[in-house]
């Protein structure tokens, strides 16, 4: 069994040693490592080539900068493995990462389309294991439809932005044929790239293995999140993601339709919260936000009558144009 490990690289010279240092010692499984240099300008390109000189498992693809989706898709086209795994260039994996995934695949009653495993968010002052609310084990199609699909996007027993497991690309191994058919085809998406296709991959799987072992470490030590800078086009980026997701067949499944409203609302609220956290001029930001919401019409994706009380109130106030009040409320009550 061959694994294709795709690592998009963009100006990550200071993190590559840790990332690749966690991957290269995993010799118990056959693997190819595809470094997709997405137009780096900080010396990462040369470092990729240097690594490839010393390890014949590494292939380097240099391309003009096109964004994360473009880099990942370039890796998919080059992959030869039975399964594809992603690593972000500043993250790292556990020493038994491939070995555990290999065991999950070979011990399953049938070859799974996906192996979903545990991951941890690592901050400078704390660590947090990403929640997987489903039981570990093998899921055939019937079990997926019964236990996973009804809470795939939004779990009614949790807060609306929570689902059965984190919808990330890097906490799972994809059968190559599945990813070739259901990857993200819009390379212009710049926000929520993972949610553009990981839910779709689950919905089109006939067999999935869930493993709760923490195998992936998501780096938040170099915090570059929405809290750092107000993104003036964030709403437009989110709209492009929504438009893409809405165009996909899986969102019309009766089990998924009611969950999508929660998903859209939670993402909008997340963006508004980030607007507060990153803004130094709340009044000016509120005016800009009101203009963006009106021009993009993104609020049409969230139906107030179908939401729990708290998010329903936030969305309703935004629809009424009360952006400044919403930002004040977030500042007052944000935890």
Q: What is the pTM of this model?
A: 0.94
- Res 61: pLDDT: 98
What are the average pLDDT values for consecutive 10-residue runs of the chain, which has 335 residues?
95 97 91 98 98 97 98 98 97 97 97 98 92 95 97 78 86 98 98 97 98 96 57 94 98 94 93 82 89 97 93 95 90 68
- Res 129: pLDDT: 95
Are the beta carbons of 334 and 277 closer than 8 angstroms?
yes
Give me the CATH topology for the region 2-219: Spore Coat Polysaccharide Biosynthesis Protein SpsA; Chain A (3.90.550)
- Res 158: pLDDT: 66
The stretches of 224-308 forming alpha helices (DSSP H) are 234-246, 257-278, 282-296
User: Residue-wise over 29-52: b if at least 16 C-beta within 10 A, else e?
Assistant: bebbbbbbbbbbeeebbebbeebe
Q: Which of 245, 250, 248 is nearest to 196 (CA)?
A: 245
How far apart (Å, rounded) are the C-alpha atoms in residues 164 and 153? 7
Give residue limits of the domains in the chain.
2-219, 234-333
Checking 228-232 for CB contacts under 8 A at 24+ apart, the result is 228/278, 229/278, 230/275, 230/278, 230/279, 230/280, 230/285, 231/274, 231/278, 232/288
- Res 228: pLDDT: 55
- Res 196: pLDDT: 97
């Amino acid at each position: 069994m061959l694994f294709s490990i795709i690592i998009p690289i963009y100006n990550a010279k200071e993190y590559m040693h840790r990332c690749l240092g966690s991957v290269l010692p995993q010799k118990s499984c056959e693997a190819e490592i595809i470094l997709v240099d997405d137009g780096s300008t900080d010396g990462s390109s040369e470092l990729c080539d240097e690594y490839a000189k010393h390890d014949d498992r590494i292939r380097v693809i240099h391309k003009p900068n096109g964004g994360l989706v473009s880099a990942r898709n370039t890796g998919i086209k080059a992959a030869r493995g039975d399964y594809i795994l992603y690593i972000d260039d500043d993250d790292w994996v556990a020493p038994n990462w491939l070995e555990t995934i290999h065991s999950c695949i070979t011990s399953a009653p049938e070859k799974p389309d996906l192996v979903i495993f545990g991951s941890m968010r690592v901050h400078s002052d704390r660590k947090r294991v990403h929640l997987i609310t489903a039981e570990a084990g093998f899921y055939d199609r019937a079990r997926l439809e019964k236990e996973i699909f009804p809470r795939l996007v939004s779990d009614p027993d949790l807060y609306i932005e929570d689902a059965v497991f984190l919808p990330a690309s890097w906490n799972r191994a994809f059968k190559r044929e599945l990813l070739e058919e259901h990857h993200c085809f819009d390379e212009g998406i710049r926000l929520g790239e993972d949610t553009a296709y990981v839910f779709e991959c689950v919905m089109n799987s006939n067999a999935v293995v869930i493993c709760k072992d923490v195998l992936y470490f998501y780096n938040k030590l170099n915090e570059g999140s929405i809290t750092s800078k107000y993104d003036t086009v964030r709403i437009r980026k989110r709209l492009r993601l929504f438009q893409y997701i809405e165009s996909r067949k899986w969102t019309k499944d009766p089990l998924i339709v009611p969950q999508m409203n929660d998903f859209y609302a939670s993402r909008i609220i997340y963006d508004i919260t980030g607007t507060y956290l990153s803004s130094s001029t709340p009044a000016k930001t509120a005016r800009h936000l009101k203009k963006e919401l009106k021009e993009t019409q993104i609020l049409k994706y969230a139906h107030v009558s179908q939401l729990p009380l708290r998010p329903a109130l936030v969305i309703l106030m935004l629809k009424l144009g009360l952006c400044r009040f919403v930002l004040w409320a977030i500042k007052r009550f944000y935890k």
